[in-house]
Every structure is written in C-alpha cells, then in structure tokens.
Amino acid sequence: MDKPGTPGRPTELIEYEMMVLGRHVHMGAPSKRTSANLERSAYILLSRLQGQGPMSIGQLSEAFGLNASTLNRQTAALVTAGLAERIPDMDGGMARKFRITAEGTRRLDEARAELVSGLDKVLAGWSPEDASAFADYLKRFNASIEHIDGRPWPRP
C-alpha cells in the first residue's frame, strides 16, 4: 500500500512533477527576473501584446481573468519603463489600448532567448523526437486548461 501523498495514478504523478517543476522555476529565478530585467508579469503581458496586438484593459482583463486595478498597475509599469505605449483604439472605441514598443519587443526577445537557452541546456541529452513530443504534450495540456477556463492563448 502506498504511503499517503505517494504518487500513484497518472494525475497524482503529474501533480507531483508540476510541484517539483514549480520549485525549479522558483529556485532558478530567485529575483523572478530575466537578465533583460523583465518580471514574470511583464514577460507574460508583453508576450500577449506581441502575439495578439494592441489590447485595452477590458480585453486584457478578459484574456487573463484579472481585475482592472491589477492590470492598470501592471500596464502603468510597462508604460513607465517604455515597454508599452497607450494608443487610441483603431476601431474607434472609447478605451485606449496598449501596444508593445520597439524597446519592449527588444527586451522580450532578449528574455525569451535567455529562457530558450536555458531550456536548450536542460534538454541537451534529449533526442529531438523526445523534445518535440514533450512540446506537443505540453501544448495539449495547456490547451486543455484553456478550454476549461475559456481563455485560449494565441499561438503562432
């Protein structure tokens, strides 16, 4: 008989490995910043703006499931840092939208390259087929979460 808390079923194994992965991510980034000096929230917001284009606070709130006050703080920090800018709604709406700037794109690309380089080191001993299969499973896993949550993430 398994001890309490000992993973057995696949979902228990996945939960356990996700907990360990979370620990690795946390321990690998003690400041929660990349060398491009992007906090996690800035990295995610800029990634969404880069992938989807300009978005209003309302659209960001719907996309992330966050309240407007949280997003106002986060977008204000992006604007202050010169990583995003407020622009009029091209469709004529009242709300202003946020668009990633050239500096935001440069810093996001730098941060992404750093993270990909780290993953290259982690996966160095994996076959290309295994790495590709892992990417496919991870995408499928995330898509299942997004389906349940009703908030799909734009993918290239």
Q: What is the DSSP string of 93-150?
A: -SS-EEEE-HHHHHHHHHHHHHHHHHHHHHTTTS-HHHHHHHHHHHHHHHHHHHHHHT
Place of tokens 């997004």: 146
Place of tokens 């590709």: 132
Query: Is residue 20 within 8 Å of residue 93, measured between CB atoms?
Result: no
Mutual angle of helices 40-52 and 68-80, in 10-degree steps: 90
Q: Which fold has domain 12-122?
A: Arc Repressor Mutant, subunit A (1.10.10)
Is 70 exceeded by the pLDDT of residue 31? no
Place of tokens 């896993």: 141
What is the tens place of the pLDDT at every residue in 34-77? 666 789 899 999 999 999 999 999 999 999 999 999 999 999 99
Rounded to two decimals, what is the model's pTM?
0.84
Encoded amino acid at 35, one letter: S
Percentage of residues in the chain having pLDDT higher than 90: 70
Please give the pLDDT value at position 23. Answer: 84
Please give the pLDDT value at position 87. Answer: 96
Q: Which of 121, 110, 116 lies closest to 37 in space, CA to CA?
A: 110
Name the phi and psi angles at 99, rounded to 5: -130, 140
The pLDDT-based confidence of 1 (bands split at 50, 70, 90) is very low
What is the tens place of the pLDDT at every residue in 89-116? 887 777 899 999 999 999 999 999 998 9
For the beta sheet containing 84-87, the strands, ordered from the edge strand earlier in sequence to the opposite edge, are 55-56, 97-100, 84-87
